[in-house]
Amino acid sequence: MGSVFGNPFWFKLNSQREIMNTMTEQTQRKQEPEITPEVIADHGITPEEYSRIKEILGREPNFTELGIFSVMWSEHCSYKNSKPLLKTLPTSGPKVMVKAGEENAGCLDIGDGYAVVFKIESHNHPSAIEPFQGAATGLGGILRDIFTMGARPIMNMNSLRFGSLDTKEAKHLLKGVVAGVAHYGNCIGIPTVGGEIYFDESYSGNPLVNVMSMGLLKHEELSKGAATGVGNPIFYVGATTGRDGLGGAAFASKELTEESTEDRPAVQVGDPFKEKLLLEACLEVIKSGEIVGIQDMGAAGLTCSTCETASRGNSGVQIDLNKVPMRETGMIPYETMLSESQERMLIIGKKGKEKEVEAIFEKWDLHAVNIGEVCEGHMMRVFEGEKLVAEIPAKALADDGPIYIREEKEPEYLKETRAFDINTVKEPTDFNETLKKLMDVPSIASKSWIYEQYDHMVRTDSVYIPGHDAALVRIKGTNRGLAVSTDCNGLYCYLDPYEGAKIAVSEAARNVVCVGGHPIGVTDCLNFGNPMKPEIFWQFHQAIDGIKDACNAFDVPITGGNVSLYNENPSGAIYPTPTIGLVGVLPDIELRTPSAFQEQGDVIYLMGETFNEIGGSQYLAEVQGVRAGLPPKLDLEKEKQLYKAIHQSQQKKLLRSCHDLSDGGFAVALTECCFSESGKSLGAKLDSLGVFNEGEVRKDALLFGESQSRVIASCDPENVEALEVVLKETKVPFQKVGVVEGNRVQMDKLIDLPVSELEQIFRQAIPRRMETQS
């Protein structure tokens, strides 16, 4: 589990420095602060929750216990504001081996005795304060979630959001976050093969850093995080414990303010080389058969790992903090239990096999220290030598936290955005200039400045480098592949969170289908503002419903993920951003389909129908300066028919390329199809824009509208008849719009530009801004 950044007392931002000074003095004296109403409130614990804590314990908690309850009852660990809605999501299916919430990550069977483990999480608040370490440790945390299940990580993805790239702040954050992801991923030797990135003022001061990882294992290698077997030893393995990350289980349950830079000590410090050793040692000890359980020390460190393993195992645990390897002196139990120092794991060994476990970790030059054992009963007991410093029922922490049904209210701003009238927008007089302006929008433009900093070829299994519709990796030793996409349009979700979330799932699935994958599962990272505000919780509820309906329609279960709330800066909340990570399987990787045109003379098709929709589009926002209207409507049945048509065409080897239409619409997608990673860019000559209702759709909607369930595909002229048979049988609307020809983009006399000019704009949009002083 990654960092929770929830609510301990010193992150009450207005009084932080004073309390930290007090804490330092008391730590040096090995004393704990007195529990007062102010300290309780600063831990984010309400009076009602505190009364419940006293009922559970049958007494007043001490300071360490108060901190433990604070982090375990925070939103990240307990999902106290979101659990009732999360339970409505589809989580079951024939391929599901580990369901959402059961372990650190979800696990799906992919056939032939193999399974994939994958998950996406956020590290938003720490990245806002310290972008390099925030992003690096976010990636380190999600990787531990994968290999603690026994899976070897094979790829990473990310989904990033920043403010306008024309600002100094956004450039600083982008540089730091990308450097952090690159540093950790490159050093540990796991390729970062794709993702997405948006720039919008909504995310100013509160960037979103969502990282996803996927691992591969054989069924028999699956390991779980349960403490079972009375008398079995509990091992602390990995790096030493310090004060870095202390308070991490608090920070994100508060909105960011002008004083948030003072919270820099809350950001953890990562060591990817140490994690590489930990990865190899953990996979080896799992395969040795000498352990019964393993759990990442992520959120709240020892606290979360001990109580969660005990709860899953329906047992008790006890540990001695004097045995925990430390790198700082004078730490009190509160600090040791809540520290989020990185690269650490908790292992439940087999009694009598202690030396074998220790030998494996010694081989990898890591600590493996027996700090306790599994006990009868259901209590988590923490000792400091012979002194009992915490005694709490494990399930009260891990499973029985408070649950709230928050008030909902439709936001007032929607009355204004829904009143948008398309007829008030004048069509451009120069569509060439409009296309060039869109190709220069950082959210649309090439992300090569970012992904070229990542080693996306390490492990030699990457089939498609970043830039295709979906990332694609080979399953080593087989002819099978795995396709992954991360997607979400926050502006769509701002204008209609239900439709926007539904589109996020659909676009992720469409991207996977375009390269040849069959969608099998979803992980989500739900980024929203303060749930205590009725308007924010309404957005959250609507988005959950959208995700649910799309996943049910495509028959893909949610395998797990992350809820990240309180994403607000002094100006307000971010756009609701339910990021979707979707995984698909390619039974035969030789049937993959690239995104770009491949050969001169190929015939170009538009599959799907275009409507008079420009609401929420990049064209309306970036060219017309209007963020209003309704996002395009998505018909789930039409979307499914499109997938069917694409899959059947791929199986018959009828497609040379396939690229989905999203941001920027038809004109942008067609232009992107002309750019080739091999360097042999191709032109396109179109005599049609694929409209079925001539006169009913505006030219700007035809070119730049973002109607859903559409792709641009190309095929060999010899396959035209066979392709059209498939499209007619699957009842997918289509039109033959032109041919791959020459070196210009020509669209029905409306656009005529050299591919080289458009490509230059596309590839330089982000580097040009990064090199310009704001």
**pLDDT at res. 568:** 94
- The answer for residues whose C-beta is within 8 angstroms of residue 346's C-beta and 6 or more apart is 234, 235, 236, 237, 294, 295, 296, 297, 302, 305, 306, 309
CB-CB contact of 268 with 341 (8 Å): yes
Nearest to 143 by CA among 316, 254, 298: 298
Q: Give the separation between CA 411 and CA 732, rounded to whole angstroms.
A: 37
CB-CB neighbours of 355 under 10 Å: 10
Nearest to 599 by CA among 499, 741, 501, 461: 741
Residue 21 confidence (pLDDT) above 80: no
**What's the length of the chain?**
774
Burial of 86 (0-12, 13-18, 19+ CB in 10 A): middle
Could you give the count of Cα atoms lying within 13 Å of 101 in the half-sphere of its Cβ? 17
Residue 20 confidence (pLDDT) above 60: no
Q: What is the pLDDT of residues 489-520, one digit of tens each?
A: 999 999 999 999 999 999 999 999 999 999 99
Q: Give the separation between CA 38 and CA 315, rounded to whole angstroms.
A: 34
Q: What is the pLDDT of residues 349-370, one digit of tens each?
A: 999 999 999 999 999 999 899 9
- Calculate helix-pair angle for 534-554, 636-651, nearest 10 degrees: 40
Beta strand extents in 356-470 (DSSP E only): 367-375, 379-384, 387-393, 462-464
Residue 40 confidence (pLDDT) above 50: yes
- Dihedral class, residue 399 (left if φ above 0, else alpha if ψ from -120 to 50, else beta): alpha
Task: For residue 606, give the 3-state DSSP assignment.
Answer: strand
**pLDDT at res. 2:** 43
- The answer for residues whose C-beta is within 8 angstroms of residue 271's C-beta and 6 or more apart is 239, 342, 343
CB-CB contact of 685 with 739 (8 Å): yes
Burial of 331 (0-12, 13-18, 19+ CB in 10 A): buried
**Residue 100 corresponds to which amino acid?**
A
**pLDDT at res. 8:** 31
Nearest to 436 by CA among 623, 689, 688, 662: 623
Could you give the count of Cα atoms lying within 13 Å of 480 in the half-sphere of its Cβ? 16
**pLDDT at res. 159:** 97
Q: Give the separation between CA 661 and CA 674, rounded to whole angstroms.
A: 14
Residue 321 confidence (pLDDT) above 80: yes
Higher pLDDT, 359 or 260: 359
Local confidence band at 256 (pLDDT 50, 70, 90 cut-offs): low
Nearest to 462 by CA among 141, 62, 25, 157: 157
Lowest mean pLDDT among 3-7, 175-179, 732-736, 755-759: 3-7
- The answer for residues whose C-beta is within 8 angstroms of residue 267's C-beta and 6 or more apart is 126, 129, 130, 133, 134, 137, 244, 245, 248
Residue 483 confidence (pLDDT) above 60: yes
- Tokens 């299940």 locate to 149
CA 246 to chain centre: 24
- Percent of the chain beyond pLDDT 70? 92
Domains and CATH numbers, the chain: 16-80+224-398 (3.90.650.10), 92-222+446-591 (3.30.1330.10), 593-771 (3.90.650.10)
**CA distances in angstroms from 648 to 511, 597, 608, 644, 729, listed in the order given:** 16, 19, 16, 6, 10
Alpha-carbon Rg for the chain in angstroms: 26
Q: Which two tokens stand for residue 708?
A: 């859903």
pTM score over 0.85? yes
Local confidence band at 30 (pLDDT 50, 70, 90 cut-offs): low
Q: Give the separation between CA 99 and CA 93, rounded to whole angstroms.
A: 9
**Residue 289 corresponds to which amino acid?**
G
Q: Give the separation between CA 164 and CA 144, rounded to whole angstroms.
A: 32
Local confidence band at 266 (pLDDT 50, 70, 90 cut-offs): low
Q: Is the dihedral of CA 673, 622, 126, 346 positive or negative?
A: negative
Lowest mean pLDDT among 135-144, 170-179, 265-274, 744-753: 265-274
116 forms bridges with which residues in the sheet? 108, 216
**pLDDT at res. 90:** 97
Q: What is the pLDDT of residues 659-703, one digit of tens each?
A: 999 999 999 999 999 997 666 789 999 988 877 666 789 999 999
Q: What is the pLDDT of residues 219-229, one digit of tens each?
A: 999 999 999 99
Task: For residue 519, give the 3-state DSSP assignment.
Answer: strand
Beta strand pairing call for 711-715 and 568-569: unpaired
DSSP characters over 727-763: HHHTT--EEEEEEE-TTEEEETTTEEEEHHHHHHHHH
Rounded to an integer, the average pLDDT of 29-41 is 83
Q: Give the separation between CA 426 and CA 449, rounded to whole angstroms.
A: 34
Which three-class secondary structure string do you get for 166-218? CCHHHHHHHHHHHHHHHHHHHHHCCCEEEEEEEECHHHCCCCEEEEEEEEEEE
Q: Which two tokens stand for residue 27?
A: 């730590």
What are residue 160's phi and psi, to 5 degrees?
A: -125, 145
Rounded to an integer, the average pLDDT of 590-613 is 96
Rounded to an integer, the average pLDDT of 409-420 is 97
Residues that are catalytic: 76, 123
**pLDDT at res. 268:** 79
**pLDDT at res. 269:** 85
DSSP characters over 384-409: ETTEEEEEEEHHHHHT----------
